[in-house]
Amino acid sequence: MVLATLHFVRGRALLCAAPGGSRSYNTFGMVPVYNMAKLDTIIRGGRVVTASDTVACDVGIRAGRIAALGEDLGAANEIIDARGRLVLPGGIDSHVHLSQPSGPGIVMADDFDTGTRAAAFGGNSLVMPFCLQEKGQSLRDALKAYHAKAEGSCHVDVSFHLIISDPTPQVLGQELPALVRDGYTSFKVFMTYQDLALSDIELLEVFSTSRDTGALVMVHAENYDAIRFLTDRLERAGDTAPRFHATSRPIPVEREATHRAISLAELIDVPIMIVHVSNGEAMEQIRWAQQRGMKVFAETCPQYLVLTEKDLDGLNMEGAKYVCSPPPRDEASQKACWLGLETGVFQLFSSDHCPFRYKDTQGKLTPKGRTSFRWVPNGIPGVETRLPILFSEGVVKGRISLNQFVALSATNHARMYGLHPRKGTIAVGADADIAIWDAERQVTITQEMLHHGSDYTPYEGLKVTGWPTVTMVRGKVVTRDGALTESRSGQHIARERSSYAARSLRA
Ligand code: DUC
Ligand code: ZN
Ligand code: ZN
């Protein structure tokens, strides 16, 4: 009997047939597959979880890809014992900031080396940092400089988004379309921050380019003028401590901008991604749009699930450790964000890792930051703790299923940003990007155990259950039991256009 099956991955059909070879099964455990060549690695005895299935089977890896799923896969150069463990797609964190220019005198705490190292220890196989276009800069120049920083430094794979701060006709008409064709298929725009905020007409121009090119626009939705107004008023009243950062950008500031971004996207008829949603009122705008049939996608982050505005109350400058935008809110907002994850309003759970050192005059304790929260660098570290927090608070506490965990932490990111089916799942033909998890391990998060470049974690003391023990990138074990085992073999991955963001056929 000839047993063979075709797998279509990356548009190529993979014929896996080899009478007399080991027997295995495709992703769904249904079709037997035979294969002759020796495998490089077998992950044996684990429970394999994808966004849709949970199957007890072994994973065979050859030449950096998953070659077989099944039992009795035969011999391999290396056997990884995964008995009692979960075998998951390596996490994809589609929202991280590494080596990003952060204003005069401010230096981000992670470069590609430390940031991707922390990502690997946190169970991630790929992260997506932002290449920032500074005002007046060409996107090509910004990318060239950013690639130079990443080259030879990455422990996991990376794939860049662009930040558009200067949407000139040249940038939108010439540069962006060419870059989308080159695999930079997503870009972020800001509705706040000096030197970054785009006006409504500029947003419309960017959205229009996104519609023309099929790229996905990510939107930071906060109302810049409202924040400036509130900040000026707070400063005049002498309310300059870090906790007033949250007062200066309350929920209506985010809700209004979210609604405006959705309305502008509706005018252009283009899908958008609202990033780092922090509360139920902004989420309601998104759900409203989704229920009207719009392709409005959304992301939330750990800080909106386990931190609150009260964390900014620390003595002296301690609150600066929690300054990020949008700010953490209250318990009702946390509940709303959980509901968004549970019910599919949010497709993505990302870290928004944006690390600064605390005890550092180039970080949170910049001299100007002591004069007002206005100058405290915005952002907190989180790439290493994102997955354990979602696993523990989500799966272990029964809020989401294991399959939802995989979707929210890996598969949806790959689909949303044009990396699927190469990345984000466990399937024959996909890259062997895998994280093995000890679902029972109890860990108290502390700064000492982490590998990022920051000197603190906002999650200090948080107890979690479940931790990744092995992270693999394209078949290479990068971290194992708390040790780095492979050095800097991460690559930049060019992407297809998002399948989620395909243009509607309307009009
Ligand atoms: N927006 C982000 O996406 N990250 C950090 C700071 C910010 O405002
Ligand atoms: Zn942002
Ligand atoms: Zn961010």
Q: Kindly state if the Cβ of 379 falls inside 6 Å of ligand 1.
A: yes
- pLDDT band at residue 503 under the 50/70/90 scheme: low
d(CA 475, CA 42): 10
Query: Looking at residues 197-217, what average pLDDT do you find?
Result: 97
Neighbours of ion ligand 2 (CB under 5 A): 220
Tabulate helix, strand, coil % of the chain (nearest 5): 30, 25, 45
Q: If you measure from the C-alpha of residue 498 to the centroid of ligand 2, how many angstroms do you get, rounded to a whole number? A: 20
d(CA 234, CA 244): 8
Query: Looking at residues 406-431, what average pLDDT do you find?
Result: 98
Residue 326 Cα: closest atom of ligand 1: 8
Cα distances (Å, whole numbers) of residue 93 to 96, 119, 487: 7, 8, 20
Nearest to 231 by CA among 279, 192, 201: 192
Query: Looking at residues 343-349, what average pLDDT do you find?
Result: 98
Q: Is the pLDDT of residue 36 over 80?
A: no
Q: Kindly state if the Cβ of 350 falls inside 6 Å of ligand 1.
A: no
Q: Kindly state if the Cβ of 325 falls inside 6 Å of ligand 1.
A: yes
Q: Is the pLDDT of residue 13 over 60?
A: no
> Which DSSP symbol is given to 353?
B
Q: Is the pLDDT of residue 142 over 80?
A: yes
Q: Is the pLDDT of residue 25 over 60?
A: no
Per-residue pLDDT, 175? 98
Query: Looking at residues 9-20, what average pLDDT do you find?
Result: 32
Residues 6+ apart with CB under 8 A from 60: 22, 24, 35, 39, 41, 42, 66, 67, 68, 69, 70, 73, 74, 76
- pLDDT band at residue 28 under the 50/70/90 scheme: very low
Higher pLDDT, 36 or 140: 140
Query: Looking at residues 485-499, what average pLDDT do you find?
Result: 95
User: By percentage, how much of the chain surpasses pLDDT 90?
Assistant: 91
Per-residue pLDDT, 504? 56
The ligand that comes nearest to the alpha carbon of residue 102 is 1
Per-residue pLDDT, 12? 31
| Per-residue pLDDT reduced to its tens digit, 221-280 | 999 999 999 999 999 999 999 999 999 999 999 999 999 999 999 999 999 999 999 999
Give the residue whose CA is nearest to atom 5 of ligand 1.
379
Q: What is the residue whose two structure tokens read 């500029």?
A: 202
What pTM, to 2 d.p., does this model score? 0.94
Q: Is the pLDDT of residue 324 over 50?
A: yes
Query: Looking at residues 340-365, what average pLDDT do you find?
Result: 98
Is the distance from CB of 114 to CB of 76 less than 8 angstroms? no
Q: If you measure from the C-alpha of residue 68 to the centroid of ligand 1, how many angstroms do you get, rounded to a whole number? A: 40
Residue 193 Cα: closest atom of ligand 1: 8
Residue 275 Cα: closest atom of ligand 1: 3
| Per-residue pLDDT reduced to its tens digit, 366-402 | 999 999 999 999 999 999 999 999 999 999 999 999 9
Q: How many CB atoms lie within 10 A of CB 20?
A: 6
- pLDDT band at residue 312 under the 50/70/90 scheme: very high
> Which DSSP symbol is given to 497?
-
What single string gives the DSSP state of each residue in 448-494? GG--SSSS--TTTT-EEEEEEEEEEETTEEEEETTEE-S-S---B--
Query: Looking at residues 468-492, what average pLDDT do you find?
Result: 97
d(CA 66, CA 426): 7
What single string gives the DSSP state of each residue in 249-278? S-HHHHHHHHHHHHHHHHHHT--EEE-S--
Query: Looking at residues 28-56, what average pLDDT do you find?
Result: 82
Q: Is the pLDDT of residue 495 over 50?
A: yes
Nearest to 42 by CA among 432, 481, 479, 390: 432
Q: Of 110, 192, 276, 380, which is best to mutate to test ligand 1, by the most ligand atoms within 8 angstroms of its C-beta?
A: 276
Per-residue pLDDT, 4? 29
- What is the chain's mean pLDDT, rounded? 93
CA atoms within 13 A on the CB side of 61: 24
User: By percentage, how much of the chain surpasses pLDDT 70?
Assistant: 92
